[in-house]
Structure 1
Amino acid sequence: MESIKGKNILIAGATGSIGAALVKLLMDSGANVFITGRNEKKIRQVAISNKISGEKIFAADLSNEEQVKQLKERYFMAMPGIDVLINASGIGIIKPVEQLTEDDFMQTINTNLYASFLLVKTFLPPMKEMKKGLIINIPGVLGKVPMAGAAAYSASKYGLVGMMQSIREELKRTEIRITNLFLGGVDSAFWDTIDLRVQRDKMIIAEEAAKAIWFLCQQPASGVVSEMVLQPFNHQAI
């Protein structure tokens, strides 16, 4: 396994339950971490908790092309390169299709799919210049199997999987690796605004989900983990 120590890592979605736990794991392992998220106050809180300097944080709406360009500028002012891009950002709107508004649908697509496109499109060229890198996305199990009420969410995550598989084909002759992590139910803030009867006490805890990403950051140089599935033992969808 490769060491994380000294690796230059960008974490998008660093304010979420999984993202915040991941920041701590990577910092404790000696990584050089830059964090971003939509909420500036939360980003600063995560930075303070992990002793990340102010020049290594940037609040941005990743579905806004101009803000992603600004993120790149800020990132490379503070970081010498990019070894790992981790996209842990996203939203979940779970509703029956007749209750799903056009705004719900487009917000989901913009946040989970279009933002991912902008992020990869922006940070892939520097990886190509270095001729190596690792991109980790988290489609979740709803990027593989459908669920009632998840029309918008699954559309965005299936789209993410297809997009990254296509990009992987473009990168076959490079040392840039792509990994998709299919997480099942995680006891996180994701469920706070979703009106479903779920057993959160039987879900994966956010810290364990973060450990899976931390593990994926240490893939051996001679191989790649194309996909990983992590789901609650008592509720396996795949």
Structure 2
Amino acid sequence: METLKGKNVLVVGASGGIGGKLTKLLNGSGANMYITGRSAEKLAVVAQENSIGYDRLFVMDIANEAAVNETVAAVQAACGTIDIVVNSAGIGIIKPMDTLSTADFLATLNTNLIGSFYLVKAILPKMKEVKKGLIINIPGVLGKVPMAGAAAYSASKYGLVGMMQSIREEIKRTDIRITNLFLGGVDSPFWDTIDLRVQRDKMVVAEEAAKAIWFLCQQPVSGVVSEMVLQPFNHQAI
């Protein structure tokens, strides 16, 4: 395992259920933390709980290209090189096609896929300069297997997987590593606004999901975990 002490880590979506738990683990391991989220209030709580200075938190909507570019530039100006980027930002709209609106579909793509494009586009040039870095995305199992009602969500996550696999081919001559984490159901605020009968008590708890990402952040540079799958024991889709 590689130490995280002194590593510059950017967690995008740190105000979410998994992102908040992950920030605590990474910060406790001695990483230099920079965090983003859409909610200023939730982000401030995460920062306070982890004694992260307000100069290291950025209110940012990943679907806003200007905001992404500004945030990444500010982090790079502060630390030089971002060693690890974890993209845990995303939205989930689960609806059947007869109620899924065009606005729903576009909002999902703009955040989960196009926003991820903005992020990678902003961070990759600096990583290519130093020829190293780690990028972790969380497509979830719906980026591998379909589910009724997940047309928009799966479209965004399948697209994310394909995009990152293609980028991986472009950076083969560097030590930049790309990992996709396929999480099954995680008991997090993701489900709070989804009108679907689910057994949250049988899902993976958010802290365990965060521990999986924490583990991936510590993998030695001599190898790369291209994919990891973590699902509830009672509902293995892959």
Tell me the TM-score normalized by structure 1.
Answer: 0.99
* 2:37 alignment partner in structure 1: 37
Superposed CA deviations along residues 158-216 of structure 1, whole A, max 9, x for unmatched, are 00000000000001111000000000000000111111111100000000000000000
Amino acid at match of 1:199: Q
* 2:191 alignment partner in structure 1: 191
Once residues 79 and 158 of structure 2 are traced to their aligned partners in structure 1, the CA distance between those partners, rounded to angstroms, is 32
Q: Residue 80 of structure 2 aligns to a residue in which SS? A: coil
Superposed CA deviations along residues 1-36 of structure 1, whole A, max 9, x for unmatched, are 211111100000001100000000000000001000
* 2:88 is aligned with 1:82: no
- The 5-angstrom pairing of residues 218-233 of structure 1 reads 218-233=218-233
Amino acid at match of 1:206: A
Superposed CA deviations along residues 25-83 of structure 1, whole A, max 9, x for unmatched, are 00000000100011112111111111000110110111111111110222123223110
Q: Which consecutive unaligned segments of at least 5 residues does structure 1 have?
A: none
* 2:207 alignment partner in structure 1: 207
Amino acid at match of 2:15: T
Once residues 70 and 43 of structure 2 are traced to their aligned partners in structure 1, the CA distance between those partners, rounded to angstroms, is 16
Q: Residue 178 of structure 1 aligns to a residue in which SS? A: strand
Tell me the TM-score normalized by structure 2.
Answer: 0.99
Amino acid at match of 1:75: V
- The 5-angstrom pairing of residues 7-86 of structure 1 reads 7-86=7-86
Once residues 80 and 86 of structure 1 are traced to their aligned partners in structure 2, the CA distance between those partners, rounded to angstroms, is 17
| Maintained 8 Å contact 1:179/1:226 | yes
Amino acid at match of 2:184: G
Once residues 213 and 201 of structure 2 are traced to their aligned partners in structure 1, the CA distance between those partners, rounded to angstroms, is 21
Superposed CA deviations along residues 129-156 of structure 1, whole A, max 9, x for unmatched, are 1110000000000000000000000000
Amino acid at match of 1:185: G
Once residues 72 and 141 of structure 1 are traced to their aligned partners in structure 2, the CA distance between those partners, rounded to angstroms, is 28
Once residues 180 and 69 of structure 2 are traced to their aligned partners in structure 1, the CA distance between those partners, rounded to angstroms, is 24
Amino acid at match of 2:193: T
Amino acid at match of 2:12: A
Q: 4+ runs of 1 displaced by more than 2 Å?
A: none
Once residues 15 and 216 of structure 1 are traced to their aligned partners in structure 2, the CA distance between those partners, rounded to angstroms, is 20
* 1:163 alignment partner in structure 2: 163
Amino acid at match of 2:182: F
Amino acid at match of 2:71: L
- The 5-angstrom pairing of residues 66-145 of structure 1 reads 66-145=66-145
Q: Residue 11 of structure 2 aligns to a residue in which SS? A: strand
Once residues 142 and 222 of structure 1 are traced to their aligned partners in structure 2, the CA distance between those partners, rounded to angstroms, is 30
Q: Which consecutive unaligned segments of at least 5 residues does structure 2 have?
A: none
